[in-house]
């Protein structure tokens, strides 16, 4: 600050430094997370790294300048709102967004985007064929955020995913995390039931007799197999365990899973690395109130993709939120009615925590 001319004297700069240090030490205040992670590392410790696409305003030229270092002019902001266009690889498109998100996550920041520009499942592509749909791309972004979270040095990725209530794929989006949570439940329960039956089957196999591996003759094995089939253990699993016993093994290890939020069960399903939010309008809420139908519209030509019950959509949102705490809601009409700078354009998204909508 002193070098940049932000203080009238070196004494003022020193006073600011001392007072800020005291407030931090006395826990009177705290900056946002990236301040702790990034600010001052180059100045105090000489920590540096190659340029990662950061820009800063040069205090001498007053011009936007691309940084040659990752930490000399670090990224100190916690939250961002980014746009995404319905384009696969161009600047501002889907894959470009994953790169921009990764750059922010790496240095401890979070980002939110409204993905409603991306066309829905089955919509026509300009080069022929049809789109794989919004959800296929959201799953890629979810995995990318999870990978950065797992290998990062700062904190978990903070990511907001917003979809408008009239998007063709909004029904699948509403139930996305619910279904993934159900998969976790199936993994946890199924793995433990399968382990129990696998151990019972291998214990019932009798290597001492010629027919000890035949459930038609070995009564204990027959009971174990019937019990396993009753609990819907796949037939190939049953036969594999018996084949394992024929090789001379008397016990079997079968991996089980638990519901810890950081467990392998959760890492194998999608939708776990973002806050998911549906953006609703006053028109939609009136349709719910009146029991009217609601149109889901295609992104390319704006034509009706599907007509559904507004109340059914609303019920799905409530039930999903009750089961897994997602999706959240953003009230588009009210947000823009309260927009203090409407000439800057319509607000369509927020940061990950949803407490601010624009700069």
**Burial track 35-64 (b if 16+ CB lie within 10 A, e otherwise):** bebbbebbeeeeeeeeeeebeeeeeeeeee
d(CA 353, CA 307): 32
- Give the closest residue to 109 by CA, choosing from 82, 143, 77, 84: 77
For residues 351 and 110, the answer to whether their CB atoms sit within 8 Å is yes
Long-range contacts of 44-50 (CB under 8 A, 24+ apart): 47/71, 48/72
DSSP string, 302-326: --EEEEEEHHHHHHHHHHHHHHHS-
Q: Write out the two tokens for 37.
A: 């992670």
What residues pair up with 328 in beta bridges, in sequence order? 277
353 given a catalytic annotation: yes
**Element at 22 (helix H, strand E):** helix 10-25
Label residue 75 exposed, middle or buried (CB < 10 Å: 0-12, 13-18, 19+). buried
For residues 71 and 56, the answer to whether their CB atoms sit within 8 Å is no
- Give the closest residue to 258 by CA, choosing from 322, 198, 195, 326: 195
C-alpha distances out from residue 185 to 5, 80, 287, Å: 59, 34, 35
In the chain, the N- to C-terminal Cα span, in Å, equals 23
Catalytic residue of the set 38, 273, 276, 351? 351
For residues 174 and 166, the answer to whether their CB atoms sit within 8 Å is no
355 given a catalytic annotation: yes
Rg (CA), the chain: 28
User: Is residue 54 reached through a cis peptide bond, with omega within 30 degrees of 0 on the bond before it?
Assistant: no
Token look-up 């090789």 returns: 247
351 given a catalytic annotation: yes
Give catalytic residue positions: 351, 353, 355
């Amino acid at each position: 600050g002193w070098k940049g001319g932000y203080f009238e004297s070196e004494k003022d700069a020193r006073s600011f430094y001392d007072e800020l240090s005291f407030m931090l030490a006395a826990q009177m205040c705290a900056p946002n997370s990236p301040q702790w992670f990034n600010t001052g590392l180059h100045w105090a410790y000489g920590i540096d790294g190659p340029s990662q696409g950061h820009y800063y305003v040069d205090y001498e030229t007053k011009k936007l300048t691309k940084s040659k270092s990752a930490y000399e002019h670090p990224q100190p902001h916690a939250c961002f709102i980014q746009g995404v266009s319905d384009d696969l690889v161009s600047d501002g498109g889907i894959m470009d967004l994953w790169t921009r998100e990764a750059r922010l996550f790496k240095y401890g920041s979070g980002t939110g985007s409204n993905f409603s520009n991306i066309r829905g499942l089955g919509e026509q592509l300009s080069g022929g064929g049809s789109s794989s749909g919004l959800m296929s791309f959201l799953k890629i972004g979810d995995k990318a955020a999870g990978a950065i979270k797992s290998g990062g040095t700062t904190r978990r990725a903070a990511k907001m995913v917003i979809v408008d209530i009239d998007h063709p794929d909004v029904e699948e989006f509403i139930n996305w995390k619910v279904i993934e949570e159900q998969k976790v439940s199936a993994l946890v329960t199924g793995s433990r039931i399968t382990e129990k039956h696998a151990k019972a089957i291998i214990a019932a196999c009798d290597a001492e007799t010629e027919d000890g591996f035949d459930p038609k003759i070995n009564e204990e094995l027959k009971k174990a197999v019937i019990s396993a089939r009753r609990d819907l253990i796949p037939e190939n699993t049953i036969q594999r365990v018996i084949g394992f016993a024929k090789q001379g093994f008397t016990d079997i290890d079968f991996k089980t899973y638990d519901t810890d939020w950081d467990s392998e069960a959760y890492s194998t399903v999608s939708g776990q690395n973002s806050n998911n939010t549906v953006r609703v309008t006053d028109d939609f809420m009136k349709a719910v109130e009146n029991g009217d139908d609601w149109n889901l519209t295609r992104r390319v030509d704006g034509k009706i993709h599907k007509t559904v019950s507004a109340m059914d959509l609303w019920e799905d949102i409530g039930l999903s939120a009750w089961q897994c705490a997602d999706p959240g809601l953003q009230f588009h009409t009210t947000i823009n009615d309260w927009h203090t700078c409407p000439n800057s354009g319509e607000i369509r998204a927020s940061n990950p925590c949803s407490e601010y909508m624009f700069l």
